[in-house]
Chains A and B, each alone.
Chain A
Amino acid sequence: MKHWLTAFILSLITAGPLQANDAPLVAAASSLRQVWPLLINAHNSEHEPRVTFGSSGNLARQIAQGAPFELFLSADKSFIDTLHEQGKTSNKPAPYAAGALAWVAPEQSSLAKWIIARFGLESDEAPFPINSITRLTIANPAFAPYGRAAQQVLDSEGITDTQNIKLSLGENAAQAMQFTLSGASDGGIVPLALVHGAPIASLPRFVFAEIPHSSHEPLIHSMVLTTHASDNAKTLFAFLLSKRAQQIFIQNGFRAIP
């Protein structure tokens, strides 16, 4: 009992700044949530990285404000360029994957009917009017690259011209996915990479369709090492560019880098 108490009190007293830690600290775009465990498994390092997921814009902002991340996996290149201008990067950024989007909607919703008609998932369905849809979810275009691309898709479909559609904005792409699947909206545009592994089996049935990449500007995921990068972070950087890692990306909802 006495030992336990001592250990407990000692653990409470260790409140210093970030302890030296062999596990590299990684900031990753939330669209990587599903594929990340597969990558780490394949990497099989004894220093398993500690990862924080979020929207690329938010993570870049945190790094600019002094967050101790060592490796930043963004969903595009623009946020990394900004960090480079601010002197927070320590190597040349490298593209590691290309992203894709998908429409997702609950099976019985009007959006689902529109998706089926639009993408020809069932033959001889008459085009379904989109104006019965009232709420769509995308990630926030201001700081999430997948949200920005989703907005472009909406624009290209002429959906934002319709007056009565309200957009609910996820704080990052994964939250947009979570909003969509929770039934909080009629459906939305989410990363294809999150559709593949989502626990759709335990939820009401959904319809999804991959969006052709001509509808939006390319989502070239880029990564960079920060000024805090340790050797373990550099090893991880190199691994993510390897053939094995690239294979895992393609198998899990990403596209080959053009």
Chain B
Amino acid sequence: MSPFWLSIKLAFWTTIILVPAGLLIGRALAYWQFVGKSWVEALVYLPLVLPPTVLGYYLLVSLSPNSAFGSAVASILGAPLVFSFPALVLASLIVNLPFAVQPAQQAFAAIAEDTREAAWVSGLSSLQTFIRIELPQCWLGILCAATLTFAHTLGEFGVVLMVGGNIAGETRTLSIAIYDSVQSFDMDAAGWMTAGLLLFSITALAIVRVAGINSRASR
């Protein structure tokens, strides 16, 4: 599989899994108070400040078949988790957690408490309130979370290199392929890939902006 499609595949899986999870975590952080909440928040936002090599290191050490945990995982899955595409997805889920949670948390927190209480008083259950009142007001935050997660995954480099190992067709994503091409002095290939990635990222972010402006204008 070409590096481009590999990157898309990684971004797709990360987004599909992480956005619903981020939605629920963001909602919990917006509405619940509990002991240790600030620690949970700190953990969720940790990947924003943590160097990707730190995460890569811990993933390598824990999932390598040389460790007890890693060899247990390997025997369940039939192959070691490191240096494979699923390893990239796992790393990606952790690295992008803040990007999926933060917009969702802000969106849920922005809904007035009165609105939700009015819904409960009118007889809607918590679940019905969530689906019919909260979600429609949060869709912009969810779109933002999805777009940021997708675009950020496309740009991942350090973790992918450490945990994936630059294997053609399996873990050589677009950002790795660019790095590889430069080392081979294939500057043309590197130039094309870089331009493509840049264009894609700008377009994705512009779409989110335009969608945000339009939706606000239509209210």
Contacts and interface: CB of A to CB of B under 8 A. Distances in A.
Interface of A: 11-12, 15-18, 21, 25, 30, 33, 50-54, 62, 64-68, 172, 174-175, 178, 181, 198-199
Given A67-B83, A68-B167, A12 B12 contact: yes
Contacts of B170: 18
A36 B154 CA distance: 29
B5 interface: yes
A50 B83 CA distance: 14
Interface in B143-201: 165-170, 172, 180, 182-185, 187
Nearest to A54: B166
Nearest to B169: A50
Contacts of A174: 183-184
Nearest to B70: A66
Contacts of A199: 185, 187
B9 A68 contact: no
A170 to B, nearest CB: 9
A62 B64 CA distance: 9
B86 A15 contact: yes
Contacts of A33: 183-184
Given A65-B82, A199-B185, A25 B167 contact: yes
A18 B180 CA distance: 21
The contact size tier of chain B is 35 or more
B136 interface: no
Given A18-B170, A30-B183, A175-B183, A65 B9 contact: no
B83 A11 contact: no
Given A54-B166, A62-B83, A178-B185, 8 more contacts: A11-B1, A12-B9, A18-B170, A50-B167, A52-B166, A67-B83, A181-B185, A198-B185
B45 to A, nearest CB: 27
A15 B184 contact: no
B168 A12 contact: no
Contacts of A50: 167-169
Contacts of B167: 18, 25, 50, 52, 67-68
A11 B66 CA distance: 32
B89 interface: yes
Contacts of A198: 185
A132 to B, nearest CB: 28
Contacts of A64: 66
B3 interface: no
Contacts of B80: 66, 68
Contacts of A17: 77-79, 81, 84-86
B74 interface: yes
B65 interface: yes
Contacts of B168: 50-52
Interface in B73-103: 74, 77-86, 89
A47 to B, nearest CB: 13
B13 interface: yes
B183 A68 contact: no
Contacts of B79: 17-18, 68
A65 B65 contact: yes
Contact of B89 (A15, A18, A68): A15
A65 B85 CA distance: 16
Nearest to B83: A67
B60 interface: yes
